[in-house]
Structure 1
Amino acid sequence: MSKAPVAINLRDKLALFQDHWSPKIIGDFNGHDVMLVKIKGEFTWHAHPDTDDFFLVLDGQVTIQLRDGNVTLNPGELYVVPKGVEHCPMAAEEASILLIEPAGTPNTGDAATAARKDRI
């Protein structure tokens, strides 16, 4: 007997954790991780040499700092950082974002410094 399909409630998933900069995998999509992350403050400057970086803001305001200028995102807005482009996400106040990236992609672009991704 197979399981009945169940929708993923983003608010319910966000309520399960408080930590910042620690991606939580909530689903899989064609070999990609669908993740929620709470952020506050500045991350680290980094690039992903082989993948684009998808950011969709759910709550708060997020600035994607780029060497050529910044992109500020509000709830419901998204930005895709092209592969190889150095960037640094930041949020003055807590914000929640949805990320989609190939499974196993380190969030810093370097497996040695990446945060562990937990499945919730």
Structure 2
Amino acid sequence: MAAVGNDGPAAPPAYPASYPGVLAVTAVDARNRPLIEAGRALHLDYAAPGAGMRAPDARGRWVPVRGTSFAAPLVAARVAAARDARAALPQALDREAIDLGPRGPDAQYGRGLLCTICR
């Protein structure tokens, strides 16, 4: 699993997110819109919240965070939960994913939005 990066949609595909067999994750804002700075991958698997959240900084202060790197661990948590339940991937994730954008997999949300309650 890897974040698609934050160099914008015009940037070349990000690695390791674009390698075969890697789950490529992008991020959405608090309104479930793709982050404007989110990169692209040769394939995109899922989207997750990557803005409108807070996390502790090095001093323990809660600060706003933004980016695809904050979305990837949320998808990783969903993968871990599915494996703990001994569910088959990606079917378990696909059942949870909310299809946004054009119907079916697309270049902005992949196969859908995961972890909406993780904000």
TM-score, structure 2 as length reference? 0.27
Instruction: Identify the structure with the greater strand proportion.
Output: 1
Which protein has greater RCO, CA pairs closer than 8 Å, 6+ apart?
1
